[in-house]
């Protein structure tokens, strides 16, 4: 449990590939939408944010962190994970490809900080980072994040 | 006291990640510092009040700053090595 959010298998998805980065964002955040953590308007805002500002949500090689501002339609803090076999391109540059997407629901400006901190700690750990990219099953990802 | 600003698209995600990482790097470098975070929109108007501005690389060209302010564009926000190298270069250390 991090900041009142418990990651379960329902929030983790594997997919071979998606056709566009818009699809990747939509797909990655679907568990949050289905469970009422976010509204459709929040999904749209995550996509608009990339259209407006560029591919900055690719925070590190192969990792994207789609998110929007709380007022776009977040009801509850949490995150969902999508792992792709084939990376999706957020721009024409190699630096902006992503295979791992972590959609973040920010309900206000501070509640998600603890979640963000733990995500960053896990992703910065080389061993855990490798394990995520080598994972073949939902349970493996769940184990790393809990 | 080094005044640092971390900025990103909406001031909720990457700017906070940069803040977490730059604080650790500057502590390791034994520097005195103060790190704020903001959206790029806010950050642009306040840019000249800071010594260092750290952003994800696509935002670098959004900033027009005076000679004293340095803007650093990061490719890997999780890499303390990249941050340390670019900060050292910007500060002439």
- State yes or no: pLDDT of A3 exceeds 90: no
Chain B neighbors of A47, CB-CB under 8 A: none
pTM, full prediction: 0.94
Nearest of A41, A8, A7, A43 to residue A28 by alpha carbon: A43
A73: helix, strand or coil:
coil
Which of B8, B12, B35 to mutate: most A Cβ within 10 Å? Answer: B12
Of A49, A60, A63, the CB nearest to B10: A49
Chain B residues with CB inside 8 Å of A68's CB? 10, 12
Q: Could you tell me which CATH number the domain at A9-145 has?
A: 3.40.930.10
CA atoms within 13 A on the CB side of A140: 12
Which of the residues of A are catalytic?
A: 67
Q: Is the ipTM of this complex over 0.85?
A: yes
- Those residues of chain B whose CB sits closer than 8 Å to some CB in chain A are 8-14, 16-17, 20-21, 40, 55-59, 75-80
CATH number at residue B17: 3.40.50.2300
Please report, for chain A, the start and end positions of each structural domain, with discontinuous segments joined by +: 9-145
Per-residue pLDDT tens digits for A100-141: 999 999 998 888 889 999 999 999 999 999 999 999 999 999
Q: Cβ distance A97 to A135 under 8 Å?
A: no
State the total domains in chain B: 1
**Hunting for tokens 């509204």 — which residue is that?**
A39
pLDDT at A100: 98
Question: Hey, are the CB atoms on B59 and A112 less than 8 Å from each other?
Answer: no
Q: Give the list of residues 6+ apart from residue B41 with CB closer than 8 angstroms, or none.
A: none
Residues 6+ apart with CB under 8 A from B90: B52, B70, B72
Chain B residue numbers touching A89 (CB-CB < 8 A): none
From residue A82, alpha-carbon distances to A12, A66, A88 in Å are 6, 11, 11
Structural domain of B46:
2-91
């Amino acid at each position: 449990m991090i900041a009142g959010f418990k990651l379960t298998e329902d929030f983790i998805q594997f997919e071979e590939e998606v056709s566009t980065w818009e699809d990747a964002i939509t797909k990655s955040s679907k568990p949050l939408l289905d469970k009422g953590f976010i509204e459709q308007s929040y999904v749209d805002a995550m996509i608009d944010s990339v259209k407006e500002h560029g591919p900055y949500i690719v925070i590190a090689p192969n990792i994207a962190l789609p998110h929007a501002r709380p007022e776009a339609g977040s009801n509850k803090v949490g995150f969902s994970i999508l792992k792709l076999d084939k990376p999706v391109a957020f721009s024409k540059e190699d630096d902006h490809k992503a295979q791992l997407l972590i959609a973040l629901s920010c309900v206000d400006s501070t509640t998600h900080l603890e979640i963000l901190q733990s995500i960053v700690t896990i992703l910065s750990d080389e061993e855990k980072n490798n394990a995520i990219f080598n994972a073949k099953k939902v349970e493996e990802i769940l184990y790393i994040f809990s | 006291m080094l005044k640092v600003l971390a900025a990103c698209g909406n001031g909720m995600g990457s700017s906070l990640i940069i803040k977490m990482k730059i604080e650790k790097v500057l502590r390791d470098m034994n520097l005195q510092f103060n790190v704020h975070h903001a959206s790029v929109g806010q950050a642009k108007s306040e840019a000249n009040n800071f010594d260092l501005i750290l952003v994800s690389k696509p935002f670098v060209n959004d900033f027009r700053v005076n000679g004293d302010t340095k803007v650093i564009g990061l490719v890997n926000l999780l890499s303390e090595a990249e941050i340390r190298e670019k900060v050292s270069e910007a500060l002439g250390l």
